[in-house]
A = this chain, B = another copy of it.
Amino acid sequence: MNIAIVGVGLIGGSIALALKNKDFVTKVIGVDKDETNLTKALNIGFIDEVQSLNEAIKHTDVLILSTPVDVICNILPDILDKINDQQVVMDMGSTKEKLLAIIDKHPKRGRFVACHPMAGTEYSGPEAALPNLFSGKTMIYCDATNSDEDAFDIAESIIDQLEMNTVFMNAKEHDIHTAYVSHISHITSFALALTVLEKEKSQGRIFELASSGFESTVRLAKSSADMWIPIFKQNRKNVMDVLAEHIRQLQNMQNLLEKEDYQSFYKLIKKSNKIKRILK
Complex alpha-carbon distance, A210 and B118, angstroms:
7
A213 touches B120 (CB 8 A): yes
With A244-B254, A247-B251: A218-B185 Cβ-Cβ less than 8 Å: yes
Complex alpha-carbon distance, A167 and B208, angstroms:
8
Contacts of A191 in B (CB 8 A): 246, 249-250, 253, 272
With A199-B242, A257-B240: A215-B279 Cβ-Cβ less than 8 Å: yes
Interface size of A by CB at 8 A reads 89
Q: Quick one: copies of this chain in the complex?
A: 2
A192 touches B184 (CB 8 A): yes
* A186 close to B (CB within 8 Å): yes
* A262 close to B (CB within 8 Å): yes
Complex alpha-carbon distance, A279 and B207, angstroms:
6
Complex alpha-carbon distance, A199 and B220, angstroms:
22
A 249-280 binary contact with B (CB < 8 Å = 1; else 0): 11101100110101001101111111111110
Complex alpha-carbon distance, A276 and B207, angstroms:
11
Q: Which of A11-19, A42-50, A97-105, A231-239 contacts B (4 or more CB under 8 A)?
A: A231-239
In chain A, positions 176-198 with a C-beta closer than 8 Å to chain B are 177-178, 180-182, 184-198
**Quick one: which of A182, A215, A220, A250 has the most chain B CB within 10 A?**
A250
A190 touches B279 (CB 8 A): no
Tell me which of B165, B181, B247, B257 contacts A232 (CB under 8 A).
Answer: B257
Q: Which of A22-30, A31-39, A151-159, A222-230 contacts B (4 or more CB under 8 A)?
A: A222-230
Chain B nearest Cβ from A246, distance in angstroms: 4
B213 touches A216 (CB 8 A): no
Chain B nearest Cβ from A162, distance in angstroms: 14
A246 touches B184 (CB 8 A): no
* A221 close to B (CB within 8 Å): yes
* A212 close to B (CB within 8 Å): yes
With A207-B278, A240-B258: A214-B249 Cβ-Cβ less than 8 Å: no
* A137 close to B (CB within 8 Å): yes
Contacts of A195 in B (CB 8 A): 180, 184, 242, 245-246, 249
- 20 A-B contacts (beta carbon < 8 Å): A120-B212, A138-B209, A180-B206, A181-B211, A182-B209, A182-B211, A182-B213, A185-B217, A186-B213, A188-B250, A193-B273, A194-B268, A195-B242, A196-B275, A216-B220, A221-B275, A229-B262, A232-B262, A233-B260, A240-B257
